[in-house]
Structure 1
């Protein structure tokens, strides 16, 4: 054979590597339970996709293009579509020997076609993929340029593995006759849009959708593995199943020093013991519900390792967290438990993480590292909700490549209440089917467990008698002052009066919008006696470096001076601080409970700390934009008859609130579920967990380190020896430090850019060290000046 796939690599070698990888992935996984198509059939279909996904490279045109290293063409070099049509034909022949219904045979063959066609790009909707009339001229040119002998030898090399024969001349006649044009369109119109597919139950439509995504992602993963990595490998290290137990002993957590320790130990051991009672291989959705401060991080890890022990098919633990700021602190704990930083054992993945993959003494090149990290090739992966859900609900090949590695995994979703109720139906329907198809197990974890799944019926609670833990503590009490709105000035007056009367108490003020947060901070700065207290401001408009610094001051208090923090809701989830009193703007009940978890967190105060709830007049519209008016109304209704409620009764609020939210969720028409049902891959790819807002990035040189990081960044992008891909890889090594000094500022609606006093440099607004910006004041010593980005009117005389 004379055809090559890549410079110096015979085409048949590449096809064989990819085909064997597809076959291996589909064979090894204990998945496709209750699937409309058996694992054996899907294994062979995946093998055929891998075997012929690049068959279209066996043409004179592509081989000439390859010989010039991609610099010249002498005809159509496109190869994916012709390869996909061949895959469809040979899969049809294979499936005709099975007992699948004819329309399902045609559907699987068409899905194999789509998966193969788009292995170099994002997926389109199936309705678009069957429109091929305009492609017939180019396909006619390509079919006449085939190296027929090579093509037939490739076919004869692979088909014996599935007991088939096929004559390439049959395919040439098929393309020349343009039969495919009507065949694909008619099948879609007759069977998908108006026929058998339309009549099946919704859960089966989800299954067929994800059978396609599995074919597509398995092919992508196998293809890229051969091109980028070249070999597959496994680490000899393993995450210790008794790691949590050993870690707890090493830290003395198993010893009881107070009532909180006793409760943590009870929650930990009871949950692991009860898992044995509630676990069933066919039950794929679980919850872990415990109050704030009871050690959910370690308990969930212990539970997951026990589940792995109960189910030997489990290969991977995926821990997802809503915020990158929490990932770093949790990852350090997990790494201590693992007693290794071997990336094949434990891995951190989010958009700011360094793309460095280490295994033993070996550190891989940046491009291989990036691929291994982005495809989650590790035993324990610590990542974000965005990475997980954008991979499940995507048409992007770079995101979907990790989908095969969800198989045989335990997926923990920490702080699950942060997911918007508008996504509840989507998650409910898809997780149930994915659990069965991929043999994966979801653990939803929270102190305020939302009703995404119906308790006992769809989801099983791991913590025995979890409600009793909410009765154990009276660390806080909510005092409802939100019965009627109050002006912002009156709110500030109440806070200051409280601060003056309670000078030894540290206060946390949580406002709903960045604007109200800054306004309240500025007013308090004017009125408070700042010799007697430390006043701090936090929002996402100050750099992560500054936020971490303030949290450090709160956690490691070095004087008796009162600490007062004015912040947005960024403080609520996973930030390990403990104050005396919280003042909270009216919010959904789960946010209020999370806010209360920042007071008396370890029950160290000896009394129930106050959590004051206010509705601030000037913030009503802004709060509705942040949370939605419906959720705020439900929260007010639940609080309507309550003037004061203690922690041991919070569960009553949570249950009442989420029952109301569930009603609203159930009444929604979810477009993304329609996209799945309609095999609208591209439309589903528009899913976004977080509402996108156009922003500009500001890099702030708050200190010498930040200045050095900026200079390193400049050197990378001014290095003419590096191409754009190499520059991105080099920046990847720096970005975890780099983004500590970056603020993303929303561009005002109707505007094209933010106001600033300097032009962009390398895509960033820059605040230089020692050169103040009127839009970003900063002082290393006087933190009262540090209010982050603020749009101001600049008058030039």
Structure 2
């Protein structure tokens, strides 16, 4: 037995900070940190949607209780208080902790009671809890190579790690009684006996050999189903650990789950003066019919049906309908221990604010919403403000960041990037919210915007989410892409084509004779009617800017130019200005009933709520054309809207071919190269299009990444074979660089604050906090531009430039954004 005074003599800490006197002091006892993280993981598993996940609660606790075992070395404790290292890496604790976690899981029998390969999962999760996930095959060693006491047959990086591990093991042995006493206090939480740490110190090579053998057996002999289930289990445990670890270390206050009435959207519709819930005819009548049918069906579908579709024409209120369905489904799924979150994912940041605003208005009906807004609703994307309100208080920036990024809210409004790079992800910062996706109801708005070559992969990953995490998927779209087969989904609206067949808001009018930009401009000028509002959508920023320039020079358009009724939109304009222009468009069209000309790129295609009389759209994918048609005669006015599809070329090929590739380009030309198409035929047209392109897509990237999923190949330093890290929802723009544009006084203030609080701050902790506080406002003035156009700009950092206000006229046009010609070509 260990004398009490000896136990009290040694104190092990997990974290430390600098006191006001400049001295490093311990802020968290290691034993308490391990216990709290373990209990957090145990609670996460216990509140999961399925029995399989709930059965992980003891394993989850054990992972939390062992994840920092390596911090018991004197090397780490000295590093914690001195801050300096001897260059040997002996203070690192990941590998030692991972091996101990696997040993503990095996000794307590987790491989049979929690899940097969529990020891291997514990090892992999703990090994990477301070970084991104790597490849399981590179995290193990041939057992025969571990027999050599000097590890001479192992490659150099592993040899260094193993020799360091050998020294750490001997160091742990020197203080073994104290460490064993701490674990004696940790194990009763799962009804387990004390772990024999001394045996681990003697047999650690055998432990590592066993892990390597398990990994080989898993990757080479197991069925796909076993690997896929373990893949989901591993990500769930990894996410639970990294999120709990960070929050415990930072002292983040735990959130309390909130109930939301299932009829909240019903009440909102009844009390909103702008919604006529009694209408039987027209667009309002159609919206009511769609809403009532969908919410009735969601109350009666089998809970075995996890993939649902809500396919309806644009402008028919899918945001309200899908949210109401999700709330009603959530009530059906709720149990004493489980309450699903709702994740509303959209393709673009530019349309999130609109949907978020609608959902926020609905939730404002709740009496405590203003006090606990963050607990009810968060908006998460790279430009969103870091705000989290709880208990009538705005939480500090660093705490808000953790709560927002881990999706600690009942309803999360986010982007496809955030969602898909989590479920098909390897990065620590994305995966810390993965456990909160378990059992969630995921609304995917306009899912056709996912690149078609990823459809097979996305389908497979959603199948895993529904099967092993208990998720429900609602596809809310006007174009019903064929990601899933018809037999794999359940429609919330019966006889969907009927809703399209009854509409006659627009005609699609193809005129696909190839034209130059000059030819197209002259045609448009001859057709222009000042009593109509127009939207013109181009495939490239360059052609849209050139067309806008021609409008400004032509005398026919002088009147609308002077009245500021010609508005330009593209990603070449800073985000802050884009938001203001969309507000201006809606004010002019809806409130002042003025006729405008909007010149844009594809930015306006999905979700932006504008309504014009006539649309011109350069040829592109049919789903994109149908989406932009939804901005025409949206409210079913007296005159039928016109959507003209033209075919703009550079003299050799259509711009659409350069942007979308030959398959989409050729298929679109073939399907609409003929007579006009009424809106009633849109549903059939889009079905034909998706059916045609699906048969021609290159499935290689989806198949390669799916193989990586089945082999736990998250990331390889060398890019062969393909790994999960090769998934890119947004293709990298090679040759592009970010530029801050000092476009006005507000931008100047953000730049000054950024220079002072981030670049000029010496204290790393304050610099990080200042960056988090400034990041979102700062990025509202940042755009990505071709690097060859930026000669002469100043550097804020290696990959971030800034354009001074006095240089604006040279590089940036206030009406059309960053200039697409070389600065040296200007004549003064």
Task: Give the TM-score of the pair, scaled to structure 2.
Answer: 0.87
Change (3 A) 1:238 1:770: farther
Structure 2: 5+ residue runs without aligned partners? 1-6, 16-25, 147-153, 716-722
User: Shift of residue 210 of structure 1?
Assistant: 1.2
What does the per-residue CA deviation read over 1:169-207, in whole Å, with 9 as the maximum and x for residues that have no partner? 2111113xx335544444434x13432x1xx1x344322
Change (3 A) 1:766 1:9: closer
State the alpha-carbon separation in 1 of the partners of residues 82 and 400 from structure 2: 29
* Residue equivalent to 2:32: 13
State the alpha-carbon separation in 1 of the partners of residues 502 and 476 from structure 2: 19
User: Shift of residue 418 of structure 1?
Assistant: 0.6
Contact (CA 8 Å) 1:65, 1:74: kept in 2 or not? no
Three-state SS of the structure 1 residue aligned to 2:535 is strand
State the alpha-carbon separation in 2 of the partners of residues 490 and 113 from structure 1: 65
Change (3 A) 1:714 1:61: closer
The 10-residue stretch of structure 1 (651-660 or 622-631) with the greater mean CA deviation from structure 2 = 622-631
Contact (CA 8 Å) 1:289, 1:446: kept in 2 or not? yes
* Residue equivalent to 1:297: 319
* Residue equivalent to 2:353: 328
Q: Choose from 545, 548, 567 the match for 1:521.
A: 548
The 10-residue stretch of structure 1 (161-170 or 420-429) with the greater mean CA deviation from structure 2 = 161-170
Contact (CA 8 Å) 2:252, 2:399: kept in 1 or not? no
* Residue equivalent to 1:249: 270
* Residue equivalent to 1:276: 299
1:505-520 equivalences under 5 Å are 505-520=532-547
Change (3 A) 1:618 1:20: same
State the alpha-carbon separation in 1 of the partners of residues 554 and 392 from structure 2: 58
Three-state SS of the structure 1 residue aligned to 2:467 is helix
1:23-42 equivalences under 5 Å are 23-31=42-50, 38-39=52-53, 41-42=55-56
1:192-591 equivalences under 5 Å are 192-195=218-221, 197=222, 200=223, 202-234=224-256, 238-252=259-273, 253-256=275-278, 259-277=282-300, 279-312=301-334, 313-339=338-364, 340-341=369-370, 342-455=373-486, 457-482=487-512, 484-499=513-528, 502-534=529-561, 535-557=566-588, 562-591=595-624
Change (3 A) 1:181 1:553: closer
* Residue equivalent to 1:137: 163
State the alpha-carbon separation in 1 of the partners of residues 28 and 694 from structure 2: 56
Change (3 A) 1:533 1:593: same
1:608-627 equivalences under 5 Å are 608-618=640-650, 620=653, 622-627=655-660
Contact (CA 8 Å) 1:710, 1:738: kept in 2 or not? yes
User: Shift of residue 157 of structure 1?
Assistant: 2.7
Contact (CA 8 Å) 1:61, 1:73: kept in 2 or not? no
- 1:758 to 2:793 alignment: yes
- 1:168 to 2:197 alignment: yes
User: Shift of residue 293 of structure 1?
Assistant: 0.5
User: Shift of residue 424 of structure 1?
Assistant: 0.9
State the alpha-carbon separation in 2 of the partners of residues 109 and 74 from structure 1: 28
* Residue equivalent to 2:67: 53
Contact (CA 8 Å) 2:667, 2:689: kept in 1 or not? yes
- 1:790 to 2:810 alignment: no
User: Shift of residue 136 of structure 1?
Assistant: 2.3
Change (3 A) 1:365 1:462: same
Change (3 A) 1:188 1:98: closer
* Residue equivalent to 2:749: 708
State the alpha-carbon separation in 1 of the partners of residues 99 and 527 from structure 2: 74
What does the per-residue CA deviation read over 1:59-101, in whole Å, with 9 as the maximum and x for residues that have no partner? 222222223255778971111111111111221223378379x
What does the per-residue CA deviation read over 1:718-769, in whole Å, with 9 as the maximum and x for residues that have no partner? 553642x43343243344433333222133xxxxx53344322456443444
User: Shift of residue 156 of structure 1?
Assistant: 2.5
Three-state SS of the structure 2 residue aligned to 1:774 is helix
Three-state SS of the structure 1 residue aligned to 2:772 is helix
1:148-159 equivalences under 5 Å are 148-159=176-187
State the alpha-carbon separation in 2 of the partners of residues 314 and 486 from structure 1: 56
User: Shift of residue 251 of structure 1?
Assistant: 1.7
- 1:774 to 2:810 alignment: yes
What does the per-residue CA deviation read over 1:29-49, in whole Å, with 9 as the maximum and x for residues that have no partner? 1225xxxxx445422222211
Change (3 A) 1:208 1:223: same
State the alpha-carbon separation in 2 of the partners of residues 508 and 40 from structure 1: 53
* Residue equivalent to 1:750: none
Structure 1: 5+ residue runs without aligned partners? 33-37, 748-752
What does the per-residue CA deviation read over 1:281-327, in whole Å, with 9 as the maximum and x for residues that have no partner? 22211111110111111111111111112221433111111111211
State the alpha-carbon separation in 1 of the partners of residues 102 and 447 from structure 2: 41
User: Shift of residue 125 of structure 1?
Assistant: 0.2
State the alpha-carbon separation in 2 of the partners of residues 73 and 761 from structure 1: 32
Change (3 A) 1:28 1:151: same
Change (3 A) 1:148 1:208: same
Contact (CA 8 Å) 1:126, 1:679: kept in 2 or not? yes
Task: Give the TM-score of the pair, scaled to structure 1.
Answer: 0.90
Change (3 A) 1:222 1:631: same
Contact (CA 8 Å) 1:532, 1:562: kept in 2 or not? no
Q: Number of paired residues? A: 761
What does the per-residue CA deviation read over 1:561-615, in whole Å, with 9 as the maximum and x for residues that have no partner? 75222211111111111111111111111001011111111112x1221111111
Q: Choose from 109, 119, 122 the match for 2:119.
A: 109
State the alpha-carbon separation in 2 of the partners of residues 626 and 52 from structure 1: 51
Contact (CA 8 Å) 1:320, 1:412: kept in 2 or not? yes
1:643-792 equivalences under 5 Å are 643-665=675-697, 667-668=699-700, 670-682=703-715, 683-694=723-734, 695-720=736-761, 722-723=763-764, 725-747=765-787, 753-761=788-796, 764-769=800-805, 772-778=808-814, 783=815, 786-792=816-822
User: Shift of residue 699 of structure 1?
Assistant: 2.6
